[in-house]
Amino acid sequence: MTRTELFVYLRKHRLAVVSTVHNCAPQAAVVGIAVSDDLEIIFDTLTTSRKYQNLRANPRIALVIGWDAEQTAQVEGVADFPSGAELDRCKQVYFAGWPDGPERETWPDIGYVRVRPTWVRYSDFGAAPPRIEEIELG
């Protein structure tokens, strides 16, 4: 799978399951995502949420994107919390995919998370034979 193929696959999905860790225990949640041209995955969440607090303590994150048509991408990466011009850029990417994003931007305690993938496993079990590819990005 090329970087371009991965981008196209990720970009066509709006939801992801994110997994974080707290006290050695996994915690998962569904979030709305947007993907930048640089393969950054961006989502908003409340800064009071478990996932946000977990990522502040440990920025390693895993995501599962796409669970339709027997295709999925498992993504591992590092999360950060952009500020300044980087935050503005990330918000524009996010708002392009989520037009209601600016409304949530006014909520108290809203925060933005950027994930930079380091590893991806793409699986297509609808193909014969199944297509399973791993990509190192970081």
26-35 average pLDDT score: 97
Q: What pLDDT, on the 0 to 100 scale, is given for residue 68?
A: 81
> Is the CA virtual torsion 115, 78, 69, 26 positive or negative?
negative
pLDDT band (50, 70, 90) for residue 138: confident
Domain 3-129 architecture: Roll (2.30)
pLDDT band (50, 70, 90) for residue 69: confident
Quote the Cα angle for 114-8-50, to 5°: 30
Backbone conformation region of residue 126, classed left if phi is above 0, alpha if psi is from -120 to 50, else beta:
alpha
Compute the CA torsion angle 41, 46, 52, 56 (nearest 10 deg). 110
Q: Is 10 helix (H, G, I), strand (E, B) or coil?
A: helix
**Owner of token pair 């190192």:** 136
126-137 average pLDDT score: 94
